[in-house]
Amino acid sequence: MADVQFDLSFDGTLLPDADPSAVRRQLGALFKLDEAGVARLFTGKPVFVRHAVDVATAAKFERVFAQAGAVLSITPCEDAGGRDAASEQGDADPNEAVTVRAEASLAPSAPSGLALAPQDGFLEPTGPVKMPDLDTSYLSLVSSPDWSLEDCEPTVAPAPAADISHLSLAAIDTPDPRDNTD
């Protein structure tokens, strides 16, 4: 996977909570771009930031763009051998590509140990599923034709009757209305 190369492009997409003016200012300062260079980044069309970079460089640029509040597009290179002929000859349109002088301005960081996975297929190979052998020989089907789901309901035991033999009723003493001394 070390020989896989990636193209980095930016089309002006920002993270949902990012302030557009702050992102423009941070990317301009980070990559030392003038007003025209920053304007070329935010045209809405994909602008190549780097061509044919390795995984570590792609991850570093993605992290820097995310910290600024922007979304960087990373795509595998179609021309893994290097830059295309137009870029090598120097006759590329300046609106199509922005040369970013960011490697000097990026703070060195420890390698993250992360790598980009291939776009197709699963991340892990599928292994055989080991199912335990279940003994179902004791199970049987109901053979009666008049069977219903009510037959499956559990029987509910009646609640035990409370023993109230020790209780008795007593007369309530009511005050005589004639004895009112209030």
The 10s digit of each residue's pLDDT in 147-165 is 777 777 888 888 899 999 9
Three-state DSSP class for residue 22:
helix
The 10s digit of each residue's pLDDT in 37-61 is 888 888 888 888 888 889 889 899 9
* Side chain identity at residue 112, one-letter code: S
How far is the C-alpha of 42 from the C-alpha of 110, rounded, in Å? 30
CA distances from residue 52 to 31, 55, 82 in whole angstroms, order as listed: 19, 10, 6
Pair of tokens at residue 127:
């292994």
Q: Please name the residue that has the structure tokens 């980070």.
A: 30
Q: Which domains does the chain have, with CATH numbers?
A: 6-80 (3.30.1390)
Asked if pLDDT for residue 5 goes beyond 70, the answer is yes
Of 15-24, 36-45, 56-65, 96-105, which gets the smallest average pLDDT? 96-105
Q: What is the pLDDT of residue 145?
A: 76
142 Cβ contact partners less than 8 Å away, ≥ 6 residues apart: 151
Q: What is the pLDDT of residue 113?
A: 66
Average pLDDT over the chain reads 75
Q: What is the pLDDT of residue 117?
A: 67
84 pLDDT tier (thresholds 50, 70, 90)? very low
The mean pLDDT value for 110-115 works out to: 61
**Of 132 and 93, more confident:** 132
Of 10, 15, 72, the residue nearest 44 (C-alpha)? 10
Asked if pLDDT for residue 143 goes beyond 50, the answer is yes
Are the CB atoms for 117 and 41 separated by under 8 Å?
no
Asked if pLDDT for residue 97 goes beyond 60, the answer is no
Are the CB atoms for 116 and 63 separated by under 8 Å?
no
Pair of tokens at residue 156:
């509910």
User: Helix/strand/coil (H, E, C) string of 153-169?
Assistant: CCCCCCCCCCCCCCCCC
Asked if pLDDT for residue 91 goes beyond 60, the answer is no
